[in-house]
């Protein structure tokens, strides 16, 4: 059963089983029930960004975290 199926199977208005218990039965983290579905392609984009960050840090010395901070502007 995939994540979408598990979310659909949960009945938040069930009288005998709490939402927490239903999540436990389905082996679904409760936060996954509340978390919105990712937009198509979002996870691939996040993976690309993570690979870029990891490769940048790995290419440099352990102190490179301070060197990479200008790449990530503070908002």
**pLDDT of amino acid 24:** 95
Say which DSSP state 5 is in.
H
- Which residue ranges in the chain fall short of pLDDT 70? 38-42, 60-75
Domain assignment present for 70: no
**pLDDT of amino acid 75:** 42
> Between the CA of residue 65 and those of 23, 49, 55, what are the distances in Å?
38, 16, 12
Domain assignment of residue 12, given as a range: 1-57
**pLDDT of amino acid 25:** 95
**pLDDT of amino acid 71:** 57
> Between the CA of residue 49 and those of 24, 30, 31, 35, what are the distances in Å?
33, 27, 24, 21
**pLDDT of amino acid 21:** 95
Domain assignment present for 64: no
Task: Give the integer Cα–Cα distance in Å for 29 and 23.
Answer: 6
**pLDDT of amino acid 46:** 82
Domain assignment present for 5: yes
């Amino acid at each position: 059963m995939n994540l979408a199926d598990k979310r659909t199977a949960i009945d938040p208005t069930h009288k005998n089983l709490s939402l927490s218990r239903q999540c436990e039965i389905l082996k679904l983290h409760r936060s996954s029930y509340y978390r919105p579905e990712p937009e198509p392609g979002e996870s691939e984009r996040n993976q690309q960004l993570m690979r870029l960050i990891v490769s940048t840090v790995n290419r440099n010395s352990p102190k490179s975290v301070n060197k990479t901070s200008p790449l990530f502007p503070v908002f």
